[in-house]
Amino acid sequence: MRTQISPSLMCMNLMEIKQQLAVLDTRADFLHIDIMDGHYVKNITLSPFFIEQIRPHTKVALDVHLMVEEPTDFIEVIAKAGADYICPHAETINRDAFRVINQIRSLGKKVGVVLNPATPVSYIHHYIHLLDKITVMTVDPGYAGQPFITEMVKKIEELRDLKARHGYNYLIEIDGSCNQRTYRTLLEAGAEVLIVGTSGLFNLDDNLETAWDQMMDNIEQAKGALRESA
């Protein structure tokens, strides 16, 4: 499967948002939008209004990550704003997971779930077959630029093996420290979608087109190393 790329828009240069969206619109598979409420994590980033503002300017799927304590307060408004994927944290929905999944589906949106580093795959066992995407946090949520948590490799492998064994359709997505140092490890473990932020994309070069090309070169080098070791 081709590796899919999801740039994290909270890491982009918001002073050049129109130009950078134009670059990403012809290259990215998803645009990753973090919604933080200042409670679930001690940070506040993008908003439903941000989704509404960029929706007319891109054809790329908008993938919304809800780092909020009460996802149901946001689901309908971000759906109306133009989200394509709505992805709450498993820890915030397990008391009413099936109701939340049904709500997202009823709005015509894809359903994702995000797993914190300390949350096992077994936590979502009873509804894993209903998911379009599972995001493995390889850093603790809330801030960009944190170090990669190596223990998450086994979680990615577990999701890969479950998907193959049962024929599940979810995408395996990685959020946190996706960059030249981790690409080989992540791809070997079974990662299918890479969320790239400062270290993986935006800080590689001031020119986003050049930065994108450098990122793709880094990913291809990682794939080449895997082929050589096979």
Give per-residue pLDDT as tens, 42-94.
Answer: 677 788 999 999 999 999 999 999 999 999 999 999 999 999 999 999 999 99
The answer to whether the annotation marks 144 as part of a ligand binding site is: yes
**Please, are residues 117 and 141 in contact by the beta-carbon 8 Å criterion?**
no
Contacts of 220 (CB under 8 A, 6+ apart): none
Determine the longest span between alpha carbons in the chain, in angstroms: 49
Specify whether 206 is catalytic: no
The answer to whether the annotation marks 34 as part of a ligand binding site is: yes
Instruction: Report the pLDDT value the prediction gives residue 45, as an integer from 0 to 100.
Output: 78
For the domain made up of 4-229, give the CATH fold.
TIM Barrel (3.20.20)
Q: Which of 34, 37, 84, 132 is catalytic?
A: 34
The answer to whether the annotation marks 199 as part of a ligand binding site is: yes
The answer to whether the annotation marks 175 as part of a ligand binding site is: yes
Whether 98 has a pLDDT exceeding 90, the answer reads yes
Which pTM value belongs to this model?
0.95
CA dist., res. 176 & res. 5, Å (int): 13
Q: Which of 25, 140, 175, 213 is catalytic?
A: 175
